[in-house]
Amino acid sequence: MRPETRESDLTPHLALLGVQVLFGSLPVIGKVVLNVLPAVSLVGFRVGITALVLAVVQIARRRFWLQYREDYIKLAAISLFAVTFNQLLFIGGLSLTKASNTSLLAVTIPIFTLAISAILGTEKLRLIKVIGIVLAAVGVIYLIDPRNASFSSETTLGDVMIIANSLSYGVFVAVSKETITRNGAFRSMMWIFIFASTICVPLGIISLSNIDVTAVSTNIWLLVAYISVVATAGPYLLNAYALSKVNPSVVAVYIYLQPIIGFILAVIFLNEIVDLKFAVAAVLVFAGVWLTTKRKRSSLH
């Protein structure tokens, strides 16, 4: 088999597109649930249900245990950044700031990822990648428009939590490639969520004691199930699979497609109109993603 066959494989890129579609549905649905459930309890449900689903599947596949003992420690550490800090900071920040602020601050994730990868030596800081990330970030900022965000004292804490969430996710993407590749995406994410659930589930139960659970409607519980399985387990697995195939900066830069996908879905389902502003932003974002994912010709020989 020629090396070009593997390098030209579109599967990880299709997986990353799926990640953005699934993650893109989270902010709106999450806001609906957060009107009823405390942020920490939603994190507990999200992490606990995902861990349970992944564990059941892996037990059925007879691929539960890891081959190397040291990987338990590594995945436990990775789980702090991938899930525990990430989820608590994101859901908590989402409840304290505006959705537009959250979308705008998400542009820092690929920047953190590329910087950390370069510092750790897991990825070279190539100029074309920097240009690609900057181009895509400009496209997202232009599309969302910073004037729609409100970085007032009322949202400051939430904004800081979202930035910390971006840093946490950037650390996860930058440092986990080797361990996930060695153990496989499914098994790695199962253990990451199992370790995270030992912290998030107890915190969620404590938080849940402050509300009347019997008063929560069936629709809200269905949305919690959707968030846990479709908007969490699915994209995390796809993300881990893609990370085992491509560089961390490639995984991170796809995040910039989320607002573009959101607008496209709004056009399809809400009959919104695509204007010149959207077209310009989409060109910038797609150009940035293409530059970041573009490989050096020498790597193919």
Model pLDDT for residues 31-90, shown as the tens digit of each residue: 789 889 998 999 999 999 999 999 998 999 899 999 899 999 999 999 999 999 998 898
CA–CA dist 72, 56 (Å, integer):
19
Top mean pLDDT of 128-132, 136-140, 215-219 is at: 215-219
pLDDT at 238: 93
pLDDT at 300 over 60: no
Top mean pLDDT of 70-84, 92-106, 140-154, 206-220 is at: 70-84
pLDDT at 5: 43
Structure-block tokens of residue 6: 């593997």
pLDDT at 129: 86
Average per-residue pLDDT for the chain: 85
Q: In Å, how far are 55, 62, 181, 267 from 204, measured between CA atoms?
A: 20, 30, 31, 36
Mean pLDDT of 208-216: 89
Residues 193, 47 contacting (CB under 8 angstroms): yes
Question: Considering its fold, how many domains does the chain have in total?
Answer: 1
Helix/strand/coil (H/E/C) assignment for every residue in 225-271: HHHHHHHHHHHHHHHHHHHCCCCHHHHHHHHHHHHHHHHHHHHHHHC
pTM of full prediction above 0.85: no
Q: Domain of residue 48: give its range.
A: 3-300
Structure-block tokens of residue 212: 């009347």
Helix (H, G, I), strand (E, B) or coil at 24: helix
pLDDT at 292: 86
